[in-house]
Structure 1
Amino acid sequence: MTSATRMGVLALLWGSGFLWIKISLNEGLTPGWITLVRCALGAAVLLVLACAAGQRLPRDRATWGRLGVAAFFCNALPFLLFSVGEQTVDSGVAGVLNATTPLWSLLIGLALGTERPLRAGRAAGLGLGFAGVLVIFAPWSHGSGLTSWGALALLGASASYAVAFAYMARRLAGRGTAPLALSAAQLLAATGLSTPALATGGAGAVTWEGLLAVAVLGVLATGLTFHLNYRMIAEEGPTAAATVGYLLPVVSVGLGALVLGEPLTARVVAGMAVVLVGVGLTRPRRRPGPAGRARTNGPARSGPGLPGPTGSGSAGSRGCRADQAAPDRRDTP
């Protein structure tokens, strides 16, 4: 499989997470159940992969405590907020708003002092990125703007990812001797933390289509995409994985329009373009040395700047990767 094909497959699986959330909601599942099942199935996939790789779950309480915090901000909370938000917002718009995570990460880094003072280019990118969000929301447009609790929940999910990345960079970075097992443990913790979310929303008549959609969301768009992203970073380096991140909102918007018939408005497309340009400008420019130009021979410590719904992978997804914590990283919603 060529690099371009691999990136396309990963972007399609990762970016489809917003579509599966929307279908699950339309077919009777509540946000709480979607969150719980997604975490549980993603954990199951990663546990199988970890066992196949001979990796064991962590045993010390300190690591599990850190993983619990990461699981809340990187999985349980954003997964729930994405599902809540998509009750009133199109899946394509959800994917675009997810792309704002690097902007929130930069703001948090500035507040914590982990980011150097911004130069003109990155400052302009930060302002441009949030200007794109404003274009999408269009609060000045009465009756056609997106300002709602659902849209704010989606922004909250993206900000939660950013909080998780900042925490993981400080508390979990460098513990990646068993990355599959660590991420499986994180999603196991997220499964437990998601249980109270079952109280959110009223129960509906769940269809087989809804069950299939949430199964695909957990197995493919969360568990499998993590593994594919891990392989891409290990074999082709973080730059290739970061490129996939920029494709996610394009995939989510395209699938929403093709599969669900969501309106592809000029305002949303323009806002998406402005957000992505702004995110691109905020990425730090580094001159790679000889080691930086070489292909990565093992797991990298940084991942895509635009997490997906598993992030991640998602991590994003993409549940977030415990061994890839970095402020500019996804996973999958």
Structure 2
Amino acid sequence: MQTSGKFVLLSAIWGGSFALIKVAVDAGVPPVWVAAARCLFGALALWAVCLARGAAVPRDRRTWGHAAVVAVLLNAAPFTLFAHGEALVGSVLAGLFNATTPLTTLVFALLVVPGERVTGTRLAGLLVGFTGVLVVLGAWRGLEGHLLEGGLACLAATACYGAGFACTRRFFSGGGHGASALSAVQVTCATLQLLLIAPAWAGPPSWPGWSAVAALLVLGALGTGFAYVLNLDLIRAAGPAAASTVTYVTPLWSTAIGAVLLGEHVGWHTAAGGAVVIAGVLLARSRQNVKISP
């Protein structure tokens, strides 16, 4: 599959993930168990892919060590934070907040990826993008209660993604290991991390009903299994900045699915703020200001 095709497919899968998370949390599944189930089903799917491909499993401590760190940043922490956020706000808002991922990726890429430079245009893009976040939140009406807490949880998740994209490109995606094997190791680490903390944090899991289980199964196997192979392939092919721009398109999918299938309301400031966020991302990531590593 060509890079452009992977990009569109990944955006659709991740765009639909927000609705699946919403189904699970609305059924009463605690956020940390949403994240744990998502990673468990994702890991099983990834190991099945590795078995089918005959992929060699990394055995060196360095790879597993970096995988454990990346797992926190790209799986355990953001999955829990997004699920917590969606317990308080709709999937449409969560998908729009996810569009800030390229902005947080830029911040961390400037810190850890050699060759990335601060420019006036990039700084302007960051300011415009985060102004869009305030518009999405309707900041002029006051920020308090569930909207503020849910929005901050989603933004904290995108900050984790930003750090994770940059760390993956510099420390984890290189070497001779295949994307499916690295993704399986990463998501397995996240599964173990979450299964260790979930019982202490939220108590033992309980049966949430078939619809929630089906949502978690699809969310894990497709949105965290197959999608992570696509994601790592994109990072390798185009670098963390370009790969993270899949979130330009993800809000379109999440908004359409949330509005049509879940009946969520899309206010004027939600749509306008989303457009401002994406404008800021495009400004910060304008071609003349992006150095994409091979």
TM-score, L = length of structure 1: 0.76
- CA deviations over 1:68-110 (Å, ceiling 9, x no partner): 1111111111111111111001111111111111111222344
Give the structure 1 partner of residue 215 of structure 2.
213
- Map 1:51-200 onto structure 2 (within 5 A): 51-111=51-111, 114=114, 116-142=116-142, 147-195=147-195, 196-200=197-201
Structure 1 residues 164, 116: closer, same or farther in 2, change over 3 A? closer
- 2:112, 2:238 → 1: CA distance? 28
Q: Whose RCO is larger (CA < 8 A, sep 6+)?
A: 2
- 2:65, 2:24 → 1: CA distance? 31
CA RMSD of superposed structures (Å): 3.2
- 1:243, 1:105 → 2: CA distance? 10
- 2:113, 2:234 → 1: CA distance? 31
Paired letter, 2:280: G
Deviation of 1:121 after TM superposition, in Å, equals: 2.4
Paired letter, 2:257: L
Structure 1 unaligned blocks of 5 or more: 293-300, 303-333
1:126, 1:282 within 8 Å by CA — same for their partners in 2? yes
Secondary structure at the aligned position of 2:57 is classed as: coil
Secondary structure at the aligned position of 2:140 is classed as: coil
Deviation of 1:120 after TM superposition, in Å, equals: 3.1
- 1:262, 1:230 → 2: CA distance? 32
Structure 1 residues 18, 198: closer, same or farther in 2, change over 3 A? farther
2:98, 2:154 within 8 Å by CA — same for their partners in 1? yes
- Map 1:245-324 onto structure 2 (within 5 A): 245-285=247-287
Give the structure 2 partner of residue 26 of structure 1.
26
- CA deviations over 1:20-45 (Å, ceiling 9, x no partner): 00001112211122111111111111
Which is helix-richer, 1 or 2? Answer: 2
Secondary structure at the aligned position of 1:264 is classed as: coil
Deviation of 1:46 after TM superposition, in Å, equals: 1.1
TM-score, L = length of structure 2: 0.86
Secondary structure at the aligned position of 2:287 is classed as: coil
- 1:150, 1:75 → 2: CA distance? 18
Structure 1 residues 73, 241: closer, same or farther in 2, change over 3 A? closer
Secondary structure at the aligned position of 1:58 is classed as: coil
Deviation of 1:10 after TM superposition, in Å, equals: 3.8
Give the structure 2 partner of residue 329 of structure 1.
none
Structure 1 residues 89, 127: closer, same or farther in 2, change over 3 A? same
- CA deviations over 1:221-277 (Å, ceiling 9, x no partner): 22122345567789x978996774421011111111111111110101011111111
Structure 2 unaligned blocks of 5 or more: none
Paired letter, 1:150: G
2:169, 2:235 within 8 Å by CA — same for their partners in 1? no
1:27, 1:206 within 8 Å by CA — same for their partners in 2? yes
Structure 1 residues 181, 5: closer, same or farther in 2, change over 3 A? closer
Identity rate, percent? 39
- 2:72, 2:114 → 1: CA distance? 22
- 1:232, 1:110 → 2: CA distance? 19
Structure 1 residues 116, 208: closer, same or farther in 2, change over 3 A? closer
Structure 1 residues 36, 113: closer, same or farther in 2, change over 3 A? closer
- 2:254, 2:151 → 1: CA distance? 16
- 2:143, 2:74 → 1: CA distance? 33
